[in-house]
Amino acid sequence: MDTGVTSTQGHTVSDAGSGAVRLRAIILLAGSVRAGDLTRTIGRSELDLPVGFGQTILSRWADQAAGVAAAFALDSVHVRVLVAPGSRAPIAGCSSETVRMDVENDGRQFAGTGGVLRDAVAAYAPDDSVLIGSAASVLTQPLSSLIRTLDAAGGDVAVLAKPDGTALGLTLASCRALAAIRGEGFVDLKEQALPQLSRDFDVRVARTAASTLGVRTLPGYLAAVGAIHRLAAGVHVQDEPLLEEWYKTFEVVEEGASVDRSAVVHDSVVLRGARVDAGAVLVRCVVGPGGAVRAGDTQSDRVISGGGT
């Protein structure tokens, strides 16, 4: 796999918590053994899905990385999106002046996430650290604050979790520890690599009230979009537990979609190449390319595209 490494120098995050973290890169794992229902139905990477405000899932990660650069006074942050074999890659990265984003295809089909990460950090210095996350997810707190929480936990590997211990999919790990992951066979980071590393390295859990929302399913994606819009409006789910069910939270219509002015788009997303006719009602739906909702029709809780529902 092409690591995209051009320098052996890491960035020192001096105010992140317990000490100086040499943040070498943010590594986002993309793809899975089976395609999610959204990717399978609409023929697009989850990372290219819109969330409103002119953003996609991937561009939000780029904005979060830019926030890390600003919070820690870094010249730039390297974001590497590692796409698993058989998974759809996003159309393009979202690089900027302070964020260098590379989309890389992983050539090792049966290495597991642990093996992939071991290979990915091979050219890094042992004292460097990387932040590992799931690309197909949305954060409800700034990434910079979550890095501080992870760093404050200390250790060679820090795993972010809810107060009840449920993992949130963000890990701060030293390259020295990741390099020690077994190199042969399938090694999953959570199930196999972390138990192995805990025997020789200091593995800790950092607890937080924040959450991460996966977007590989229809309910997950719509919940994530809703959370983004509520946060933008200053409203939190815990304050209004029935808000999502009773009140319209968002309407996302991608450029290139055709939606009649009389149609109702309630907590739904209409992608380019889709059509929603007069008087149609959408409730918690995604209408993909080639999908059409006829005049006066009502659809709820489904993905609609030219290839079927």
What angle in degrees, to the nearest 10, is found between the helix axes of 143-153 and 57-71?
A: 60
At which residue do the structure tokens 């009649």 appear? 260
Looking at residue 128, its pLDDT comes to 96
Q: What is the DSSP string of 69-86?
A: HHHTT-S-EEEEEEEPTT
Q: Are the C-beta atoms of 5 and 123 separated by less than 8 Å?
A: yes
pLDDT in tens, the chain (309 residues): 333 323 334 555 545 333 456 899 999 999 765 556 688 888 899 999 999 999 999 999 999 999 999 999 999 999 999 998 888 899 877 889 999 999 998 766 677 899 999 999 999 999 999 999 999 999 999 999 999 999 999 999 999 999 999 999 999 999 999 999 987 788 999 999 999 999 999 999 999 998 899 999 999 999 999 999 999 988 765 544 444 456 789 999 999 999 999 999 999 999 999 999 999 999 999 999 999 999 999 999 999 998 655
pLDDT digits (tens, 9 = 90+) for 184-224: 788 999 999 999 999 999 999 999 998 899 999 999 999 99
Q: Are the C-beta atoms of 1 and 104 separated by less than 8 Å?
A: yes
Looking at residue 5, its pLDDT comes to 29
Domains in the chain with CATH codes? 11-214 (3.90.550.10), 218-304 (no CATH)
In whole angstroms, give the CA distance from residue 47 to residue 88: 9
H helix or E strand, kind and range, residue 257:
none
Looking at residue 158, its pLDDT comes to 97
Looking at residue 211, its pLDDT comes to 87
Looking at residue 55, its pLDDT comes to 96
Looking at residue 309, its pLDDT comes to 59
Looking at residue 279, its pLDDT comes to 98
Give strand ranges (E) for 215-260.
Answer: 251-253, 258-259
Instruction: Say how many residues make up the chain.
Output: 309
Output the pTM of the full model: 0.89
Looking at residue 3, its pLDDT comes to 31
